[in-house]
Amino acid sequence: MTTNRKKRSRRLNPFIILEIALGATISILLAELLGLQFASSAGITTLLTIQNSRDLTLKTTLQRYGAFVLMLALSFALMQPLRFTVISFGLFLLFFVGLCLLFEWQAVIASNAVLATHFLAVGHMQPAIIINALFILTIGAGVGVVLNLVIPHQRRPLAHYRDRVEEALRDILRVMADRIQSPAADAEKDRENARMREAFQQLEDRLDRYQDAAAEEGGNRFEGRAAYPVRYFQMRTQQLVLLQRIWDNLERIKEGYDMHQRLAQFFLATSETFSERNNAVGLISLHQGLETLYREAPLPATRPEFEDRALMYAVLMDIKSFLLIKRDFIAGVAPGDLTRYW
């Protein structure tokens, strides 16, 4: 429970809290200054407009106006003929919520439903109350958008996140090299297995958080400037899946053979050259030599040796896939992406 509380506290964004409190207050004051009815609804609209990222705030604002037109049409078609009773409002909500969900406008249902209650409260849809609702919507949404643009957002240390991920992956590769050199199982190996399982889980959780942070950071830069960091963390997640599979096989290997030393050296070379900018082409070339070595080696003489060689060959193919993921990722990177987004 303590861990969950810490995770929630880390995700609290003080800027969003400030925007909501300040924005709702300003909206209500503006609505009252203009003499609008139901001025408090402007504050509610601001509260519902402000999102965690700027592009999402703009997106929901546009959706809000589309839902406003839908709300007017349904109110006129359903509530007015039934004289604005509670039953008519329930019927309106049935269709309004359903259509908003169909259009994927979930985020704007509440604010427009609140505006529809204005018609229910006054018992008519005269032009004056419709204009009043439009002004309430515009003030509430407008203040939310302006504050979202003006108030600085908490910048995510994406470069720091990248460095932490790369260091963790280097450590994993180094431990794998040691295991390849000394595969015999003992009490220390069991403890090491447990530590590695924990390291994999921690890094997986960290990559999930970092992807979310990169996506949120991109949402606060309208040119989508964190698109590359998101893809980078996704690429590392794919590589982590392969490393977990490699470790599963390394846990089952019982003996060490001469060829294994070459593979262990290859894992060490991979860890030493591991970085964001390495396109892995040189390592893939070295890997081809290892493949040739394994194919030309004498056939296993015993069943245990055959089983170990089969597992090690699977490791050899998985580390190749690990490198190909990086090569293909770098091949798809636009010039300047490696320096522009961090």
Q: For the chain, how are helix, strand and coil distributed in percent, rounded to 5?
A: 80, 0, 20
pLDDT score, position 7 = 46
For residue 183, give the H/E element and its range.
Answer: none
According to the model, what pLDDT value does residue 145 have?
87
Nearest to 62, CA basis, from 27, 107, 96: 107
- pTM for the model: 0.63
Q: Tell me the per-residue pLDDT of 185-197, one tens digit each, with 9 for 90 and over.
A: 666 777 888 899 9
Model confidence over 116-149: pLDDT tens digits?
999 999 999 999 999 999 999 999 999 988 887 7
* Long-range contacts, stretch 235-241, CB < 8 angstroms, 24+ apart: 235/325, 235/326, 235/329, 236/165, 236/169, 236/207, 237/204, 237/207, 237/208, 237/211, 238/325, 239/169, 239/322, 239/325, 239/326, 240/169, 240/200, 240/203, 240/204, 240/207
Residues 6+ apart with CB under 8 A from 170: 271, 274
Is residue 52's pLDDT more than 70?
no
Q: Which two tokens stand for residue 250?
A: 């390394």
Given a cut of 90, whether residue 251 has pLDDT beyond it is no
Query: What pLDDT is stored for residue 2 in this prediction?
Result: 40
Mean pLDDT of the chain: 86
CA distances from 150 to 47, 153, 213, 260 (A): 16, 9, 20, 59
Q: Is-contact 45 145, C-beta < 8 A?
A: no
pLDDT band of residue 265 (cuts 50, 70, 90) is very high
Kindly tell me if the per-residue pLDDT of 79 is higher than 80.
yes
Nearest to 46 by CA among 126, 125, 110, 121: 110
Does 6 score more than 60 pLDDT?
no
The pLDDT score that the predictor gives to residue 202 is 95
As a whole number, mean pLDDT of residues 146-170 equals 83
Segment 209-221 mean pLDDT: 78
Distance of CA 186 to the CA centre of its chain: 40
Q: Please enumerate in sequence order all residues whose Cβ is within 8 A of that of 258, keeping only pairs 6 or more positions apart, or say none.
A: none
Residue 276 tokens, joined: 């964001």
Helix (H, G, I), strand (E, B) or coil at 266: helix
Q: What is residue 153's predicted lDDT score, i.e. its pLDDT?
A: 62
Q: Which domains occur in the chain, in start order?
A: 13-150 (no CATH), 158-340 (1.20.120.940)
